[in-house]
Every structure is written in C-alpha cells, then in structure tokens.
Structure 1
C-alpha cells in the first residue's frame, strides 16, 4: 500500500488502529479497508482494537478483538457484518489497483484485474533483481524525511533505476511496501529502529 493511503487511513481511525498493526494489503483495497475501519470505529465508539489487516486465501481479512470486548451480541454481529462486507467486496476488486478483478486460484490465490495479473511476472522479476536496491531506496527515503521533519512523495526521492515504465512503477510500489511495513514494525536493513516513532509522527505537507 502507498504510504499516503496508509497514513490517511490511520488518521481517520487512530482510536482503534495501533501504529504497530500494519495494513498488509495492496493499494487497490485501501478504500475497502478505510470504509470498514471507520465503520467499526463509529459502531463501537472506538472501543475495539484492530488486530490484523491482511490478505488471506486471496481475500481481504480484517481481524478485531470484538469477541474479547464487552459488546452485546447485536453489536458483535454488526462488527462481523462490516468485516464480512469488506471481504466479499475484495473478491471482485483488484488488490493492486481497485479495478474490477477476479480471484485467481493458483498456488497463491489473489484477486487481480487483467492488467495487474499481467504485471505479476514483472513484479517478481523486479523484486528478485533489485531487492537490495529497493531496501536501500526505502532507507534513503526515511533518512531524507527525518532530516527535513516531513514526508515527501516517494517518487520525488527515489532515483529511477528501471528504464521500463512498468518496471519503475513496480519498483516504486515495492519501496512503498517496505516503508509501510517498516512503519508498522518490521525490520529494514540500515535503519535504526529507534527512529521509528519519530518517523510515525511525520506527515505529508497538507497546506
């Protein structure tokens, strides 16, 4: 997920989504995630915790601690209904871009539109060929943002290393993923984890 969308969702649901819970899905589902989390927050008056947002068996999965809370059965059913609607909607929305997609049942099930399905080989190839560079680019981006105490569009900071336009887009997607996962608590080579909280406080200039 793009860093901008990750932060926009978190801004709306601060009371139920902790910083160390990563939004581990593609950018195409960010509206489904945002709508579901806002709905859960409003329904429960912020008295629920999101435990996980991920792709499971190809579909969007949102896990909460509603079962451990002191909600009545009706409220719990409504929470499960919200997550269920998001899961059902993800079956026809491409995880990468949000366009009309379908569930591809291969060794790794996933929902893709035709165009993003065609991108899969390029995505795998770019990751294999540029894994080190992707991690270095994410680490460099973090340092630049921390130095200036604000976030910048990733495309403005990351140097182009792929000549092909699709490969470059995929490369930027992978850098975004590393940043979002690191923000959520994962490890990134060359970055001191002590600065994670400082980075979490940064935002894009919204003037």
Structure 2
C-alpha cells in the first residue's frame, strides 16, 4: 500500500513539480497517507540518530505519541491524524525572491535540496517533522501553540490544491533560509579532489546537464546573485 501511495505522489505531484508546473486535478486520500509515512520515517530516523539525547528543547514523549497517531492513521485504524495535522508546500512556481538575507544558493536549495529533520523552537512551543523533496515540502505537526499555520493543511479525502503559490509563515520562511545557509556551508567544505570529480562528471555529461533542472536552478542563482 505504501508503494502505491508513493507511486501516485511521484506521478501526480513530484514529476510536475520538478518541471515547475501547476498542480492540477486535486488529490485524494493518498496524499495525506504519503505525508504521514514521511513524518513517521522522519521521527524514526531522528531517534536512530539519538537526537533525543542531544537536545532538551523537545518533549520526545510527544514526538513518539505523534508518530503513533500517524501510524494508526496510515494503517486505517483512524480516519484522520487529529491534532497532528499534516502540511504541504509547493515552492516550484517561482524563479526568484526579492527578499533580504537570502543566501546565494537560494534557488538551488529551494528547488533541489532533499532532506528531513525535526524543526522546533527552543521554548518548546513548536515542533514538527520537516521533509523536503526538492520543490515539495511536507510537515507533520507534533507540538503547535502557534495559530498562523492552517492554510496548507492536507485534507484526508478528496480535495483541491491550495490556490496560493508559496506563502510560508514567518517561522517556516526563516527556517528555509537557515537550512539554505547550512547547505551552502556544507558545499563550501567539499574537498578539491571531490570538486574535480564533480567537474569532470559535469563536463562528461555537459549536453544533458544544460537541459537539467539543476542547471536551471544554478543559472537562477547566478542571475539573482551575480556578485556572490
């Protein structure tokens, strides 16, 4: 069943999203269950990394409770995830943002990066799973005392995609910038030997590379941040 949801998500949202096309036709219960599976796997991966021993800002009893709620929803024991809502953002419509403090890898990060994590506040009033699949981002609410994160929630049945393009609230927007800067630091740490391997492979597949979305994203960064 999980494979079917993943295949549906791939054909109906991931493929058009990587082409930066509008999402059309609405969605069904497959999207919420796909999002739940991502949230569960994110919790398990973080616990495997023993993140619960590395930070005191998260109540991990609540994290595990949320994962159990998503599991029950995923296997059909419940009809919805209750307070642990699932959210979805599609950031593939735009090419540039005119905003302060954007790192010079912004377009490459926002369109291409793949990662998962737990995002949370040090005060403990917010915690959610964060899964970024290129131009798609999924969140699973674990603890949320904020009231400005509602319009992107995924319905558990047939529904239409949100009409807005990409309007994350301030907290999520800042988190994107933080992650993009972190990604930039990692790339800056690539060794000279590794960079030569990457350059050689790029030249070997130059014709294919210039038609790729990666090339388009890199060009967007170059055009937007020419002095970086």
TM-score normalised over the length of structure 1: 0.26
Rg larger for: 2
- Which gives a bigger RCO, structure 1 or 2 (Cα 8 Å, sep 6+)? 2
TM-score (norm 2): 0.25
